[in-house]
């Protein structure tokens, strides 16, 4: 059998998806690869008339695995106090505790019963996680906060799972226009950080004071505080003169994804026993900033102790008043107009992995500030608290039940209309599989499902049912042409509707984080999966039913 272009694209997507999944056990990875290899072999030797059904089955299995890939027993570490001995041993948020003193931990009750029975006397405590085993002598309850391991990889947004909220006030009186500028820069900063569900708006009190209200899904108050507490004022100084500052006025481009211009280097052991990992990335300066850099270096003398290789002043990188790094300036840059500068820094940790993670985090933070610039005003956090879910698990149950009832109702209508149980069952099965595939892809890309996203899923199912009815009608009517021609005509109608929807949804997807983006991304996922996966499979199923 000769593979079509569409089939090659689908299998390449499967392979990339498998490689991207790094947080599942090895046995599950092997199972996933087995599905792919088995499906590939089946496709290679199958008759072309069932290949679409095999692709659909393969994607359905992959999506289910993406959703339910968290089979690990234990409890998830939510936070560890920096003063706790286990933190100093390397325990961090996100690790999974499986055993305490040799006893298996499967839920929160077992964890708390073992921890609370330690007493006040000094005892040895062995905690085993999926990463390593920690041993410490304790005389009080460890300051470790844990929670149940999520049963699925589906992430929910602010209105379903809750998050953190901060009321922020500038330290000086600002106008309405200045408040809107502050919101715009803050939103850009959050978007650069890659946060999916962020809501920022301006509010004011009766005295005319203006505030910025920030809400972030799935974040803790401490995490939100760390994101907004710093003004992000970046300066690069030579001596006591500023060469350039963060923001697009002086910096025209920050190299983030170019491996030749941006890198995090392997960690090295430091003198205190920990590890240090350095990073560097290039930035492009505006002509004005490049000329300013040249004018300043022209006046700097050569360092006599450097054998004529460097200037006597360093390029000092300062973030919010703290020195990030000091870089030597080569003699070749003296008085020269250079449009590209290398920025460097480092991260530290108790282990090589921690040092790498800290270096990447520090580099991302610095790049973000260089891109978005500093906030125009110094901010104070007036109130910081946790947002309870507005909808929660009851809403999840209700919306799933409503969707299931709607699909079953449509299937019953189809049964009454066409009087074939197989046709109705096929529509029910395909509609349900579309939900699974959408949730699987959302789990893969770690998209937060909020209320608009769920509305997008329901809208996708609605359009899917419409298109499936078109396929059924084409299969049952127009007997003057053969079944193959009728299916081609039906798929052509479906594809035309797809490209029309795609043209209308892409502008919404381009919009900033918020209502339209959540709706657009799930709808785009749904209609794309429908057109290339479920609709061809449904057409093949209906063709077999009608030919029987």
Q: Mean of the pLDDT values across residues 473-482?
A: 68
pLDDT at residue 401 in the model: 74
Q: Per-residue confidence at 45, pLDDT binned at 50, 70, 90?
A: very low
**92 pLDDT above the threshold of 70:** yes
Write the pLDDT tens digit of every residue in 321-362: 778 778 788 888 888 888 888 888 888 888 888 888 888 878
pLDDT at residue 75 in the model: 86
* CA separation for the pair 336, 517 (Å, rounded): 46
Report the candidate in 265, 264, 329 with the shortest Cα–Cα distance to residue 298: 329
* CA separation for the pair 403, 450 (Å, rounded): 16
**88 pLDDT above the threshold of 60:** yes
* CA separation for the pair 66, 457 (Å, rounded): 18
Q: Mean of the pLDDT values across residues 32-56?
A: 57
**23 pLDDT above the threshold of 50:** no
pLDDT at residue 245 in the model: 83
* CA separation for the pair 185, 175 (Å, rounded): 15
Q: Collapsing DSSP states into helix, strand and coil, what is residue 481?
A: coil
* CA separation for the pair 20, 15 (Å, rounded): 9
**Range picked from 24-28, 162-166, 524-528 for highest mean pLDDT:** 524-528
Comparing 110-114, 260-264, 432-436, 474-478, the range with the smallest average pLDDT is 474-478
Q: Mean of the pLDDT values across residues 388-392?
A: 60
pLDDT at residue 24 in the model: 47
Comparing 152-161, 300-309, 448-457, 539-548, the range with the smallest average pLDDT is 152-161
Q: How would CATH label the architecture of 163-230?
A: 2-Layer Sandwich (3.30)
**433 pLDDT above the threshold of 80:** yes
The strand ranges marked E within 67-209 are 75-80, 96-100, 103-104, 123-129, 133-138, 144-148, 155-156, 163-170, 198-204
Beta bridge partners of residue 438, listed in sequence order: none
DSSP 8-state code for residue 531? I
pLDDT at residue 42 in the model: 47
pLDDT at residue 474 in the model: 77
Give the torsion sign (CA, 135, 139, 105, 65): negative
Q: Which two tokens stand for residue 372?
A: 């978005």
CATH homologous superfamily of 75-148 equals: PDZ domain (2.30.42.10)
The domain made up of 5-70+391-547 has a fold known as Multidrug efflux transporter AcrB transmembrane fold (1.20.1640)
Q: What are the boundaries of each domain within the chain?
A: 5-70+391-547, 75-148, 163-230, 234-374
Of residues 536 and 396, the one with the higher pLDDT is: 536
Q: Which two tokens stand for residue 85?
A: 């001995």
pLDDT at residue 218 in the model: 61
pLDDT at residue 510 in the model: 60
Domains 5-70+391-547 and 75-148 share a fold: no
How many CA atoms are closer than 13 Å to the CA of 246, on its beta-carbon side?
24
Q: Which two tokens stand for residue 179?
A: 């408040």
Comparing 423-437, 493-507, 509-523, the range with the smallest average pLDDT is 509-523
Q: Per-residue confidence at 2, pLDDT binned at 50, 70, 90?
A: very low
Mean pLDDT of the chain: 76
pLDDT at residue 146 in the model: 80
Q: Mean of the pLDDT values across residues 511-536?
A: 74
pLDDT at residue 512 in the model: 45
The strand ranges marked E within 130-266 are 133-138, 144-148, 155-156, 163-170, 198-204, 210-217, 234-238, 241-245, 251-254, 262-264
**278 pLDDT above the threshold of 60:** yes
Write the pLDDT tens digit of every residue in 163-212: 777 888 888 888 888 888 777 777 766 665 555 567 788 888 777 788 88
Q: Mean of the pLDDT values across residues 397-413?
A: 75
**Given the DSSP bridges, would you call strands 379-387 and 340-349 parallel, antiparallel or unpaired?**
unpaired
Q: Per-residue confidence at 48, pLDDT binned at 50, 70, 90?
A: very low
pLDDT at residue 7 in the model: 57
* CA separation for the pair 464, 429 (Å, rounded): 12
pLDDT at residue 49 in the model: 47
Q: Which two tokens stand for residue 18?
A: 């498998």
* CA separation for the pair 131, 77 (Å, rounded): 12
Q: Mean of the pLDDT values across residues 115-132?
A: 77
Q: Per-residue confidence at 407, pLDDT binned at 50, 70, 90?
A: confident
Report the candidate in 265, 257, 259, 260 with the shortest Cα–Cα distance to residue 352: 265
Compute, in degrees rounded to 10, the torsion defined by CA atoms 402, 404, 408, 414: 90
Q: Mean of the pLDDT values across residues 449-456?
A: 78
Q: Mean of the pLDDT values across residues 518-542?
A: 83
Phi, psi (rounded to 5 degrees) for 47: -70, 150
């Amino acid at each position: 059998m000769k593979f079509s272009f569409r089939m090659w694209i689908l299998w390449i997507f499967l392979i990339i998806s498998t490689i991207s999944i790094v947080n599942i056990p090895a046995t599950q990875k092997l199972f996933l690869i087995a599905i792919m290899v088995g499906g590939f072999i089946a496709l290679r030797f199958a008759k072309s008339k069932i290949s679409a059904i095999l692709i659909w089955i393969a994607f359905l299995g992959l999506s289910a695995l993406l959703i339910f890939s968290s089979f690990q027993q234990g409890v998830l570490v939510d936070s560890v106090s920096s003063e706790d001995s286990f933190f100093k041993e390397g325990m961090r948020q996100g690790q999974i505790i499986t055993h305490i003193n040799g006893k298996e931990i499967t839920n929160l009750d077992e964890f708390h019963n073992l921890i609370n029975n330690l007493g006040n006397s000094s005892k040895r405590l062995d905690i085993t996680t999926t990463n390593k085993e920690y041993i410490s002598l304790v005389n009080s309850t460890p300051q470790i906060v844990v929670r149940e391991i999520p049963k699925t990889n589906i992430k929910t947004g602010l209105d379903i799972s809750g998050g953190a909220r901060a009321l922020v006030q500038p330290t000086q009186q600002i106008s309405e226009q200045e408040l809107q500028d502050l919101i715009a820069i803050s939103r850009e900063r959050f978007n650069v950080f890659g946060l999916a569900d962020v809501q920022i708006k301006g509010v004011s009190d009766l005295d005319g004071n203006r505030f910025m209200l920030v809400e972030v899904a799935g974040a803790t108050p401490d995490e939100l505080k760390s994101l907004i507490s710093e003004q992000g004022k970046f300066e690069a100084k030579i001596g006591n003169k500023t060469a350039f500052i963060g923001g697009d006025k002086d910096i025209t481009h920050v190299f983030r994804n170019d491996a030749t211009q941006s890198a995090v280097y392997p960690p090295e052991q430091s003198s205190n026993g920990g590890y240090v990992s350095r990073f560097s990335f290039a930035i492009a300066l505006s002509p004005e900033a490049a000329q300013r850099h040249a004018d300043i270096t022209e006046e700097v003398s050569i360092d006599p102790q450097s054998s004529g290789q460097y200037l006597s002043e360093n390029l000092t990188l300062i973030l919010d008043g703290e020195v990030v790094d000091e870089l030597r300036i080569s003699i070749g840059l003296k008085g020269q107009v250079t449009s590209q500068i290398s920025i460097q820094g480092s991260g530290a940790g108790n282990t090589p992995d921690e040092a790498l993670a800290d270096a990447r985090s520090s580099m991302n933070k610095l790049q973000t500030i260089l891109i978005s610039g500093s906030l125009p005003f110094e901010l104070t956090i007036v109130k910081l608290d946790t947002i309870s879910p507005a909808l929660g698990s009851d809403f999840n149950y209700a919306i799933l039940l409503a969707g299931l009832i709607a699909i079953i109702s449509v299937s019953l209508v189809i049964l009454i209309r066409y009087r074939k149980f197989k046709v109705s069952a096929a529509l029910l099965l395909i509609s349900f599989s579309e939900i699974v595939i959408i949730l699987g892809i959302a789990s893969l890309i770690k998209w937060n499902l909020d209320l608009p996203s769920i509305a997008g899923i329901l809208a996708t199912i609605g359009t899917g049912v419409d298109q499936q009815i078109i396929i059924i009608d084409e299969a049952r009517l127009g007997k003057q042409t053969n079944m193959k021609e009728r299916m081609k005509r039906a798929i052509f109608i479906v594809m035309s509707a797809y490209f029309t929807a795609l043209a209308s949804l892409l502008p919404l997807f381009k919009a900033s984080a918020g209502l339209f983006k959540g709706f657009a991304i799930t709808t785009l996922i749904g209609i794309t999966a429908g057109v290339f996966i479920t609709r061809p499979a449904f057409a093949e199923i209906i063709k077999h039913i009608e030919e029987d």
